[in-house]
């Protein structure tokens, strides 16, 4: 009987230790999620803001442009991220495009990608777009 109760006590102590570790991991996970949520809200707030002089920091290796332009191509596909598999779609699932003459604020360039913001504040990416620069 004594051995049986000792074994039970050891098992209970091991379970308590596991629970304590899991609680610590959960607390760390919640902190990380809160941090990501704050970052996402900051990004969303910038995308919905007016065309002020404030812009998010450029990507590593990006060249800051910060100039107004009009698109020259008839249908310029737009993307959520600088990746050709991330093309934006409308409510019906059709690909979104910029049309010739659309005014955009070119924020930065990285390789062939440009990060743009439309006059209504939507931030997107385009690949090797042709522009008429506005002075």
Q: What is the per-residue burial (b if ≥16 Cβ within 10 Å, else e) of 16-54? A: eeeeeeeeeeeeeeeeeeeeeeeeeeeeeeeeeeeeeee
Burial class (CB in 10 A: 0-12, 13-18, 19+), 98: buried
What pLDDT, on a 0 to 100 scale, did the predictor assign at position 48? 43
What pLDDT, on a 0 to 100 scale, did the predictor assign at position 27? 85
Please report, in tens digits, the pLDDT of each residue of the chain (135 residues total).
Answer: 567 888 888 999 999 999 998 898 888 888 888 777 777 666 655 544 444 445 556 666 788 999 999 999 888 899 998 888 888 998 888 889 999 999 999 999 998 899 999 988 899 999 989 999 998
Output the pTM of the full model.
0.55
Domain ranges of the chain: 1-50, 63-133
What pLDDT, on a 0 to 100 scale, did the predictor assign at position 73? 86
What pLDDT, on a 0 to 100 scale, did the predictor assign at position 35? 77
CATH superfamily of the domain spanning 63-133: SH3 Domains (2.30.30.40)
């Amino acid at each position: 009987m004594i051995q049986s109760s000792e074994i039970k006590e050891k098992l209970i102590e091991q379970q308590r230790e596991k629970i304590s570790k899991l609680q610590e991991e959960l607390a760390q996970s919640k902190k990380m999620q809160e941090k990501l949520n704050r970052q996402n809200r900051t990004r969303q707030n910038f995308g919905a803001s007016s065309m002020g002089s404030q812009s998010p920091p450029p990507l590593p290796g990006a060249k800051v442009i910060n100039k107004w332009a009009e698109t020259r191509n008839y249908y310029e596909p737009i993307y959520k991220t600088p990746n050709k598999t991330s093309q934006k779609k409308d409510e019906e699932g059709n690909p979104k495009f910029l049309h010739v003459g659309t005014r955009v604020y070119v924020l930065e360039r990285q390789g062939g990608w440009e990060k743009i913001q439309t006059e209504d504040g939507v931030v997107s990416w385009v690949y090797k777009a042709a522009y008429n620069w506005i002075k």
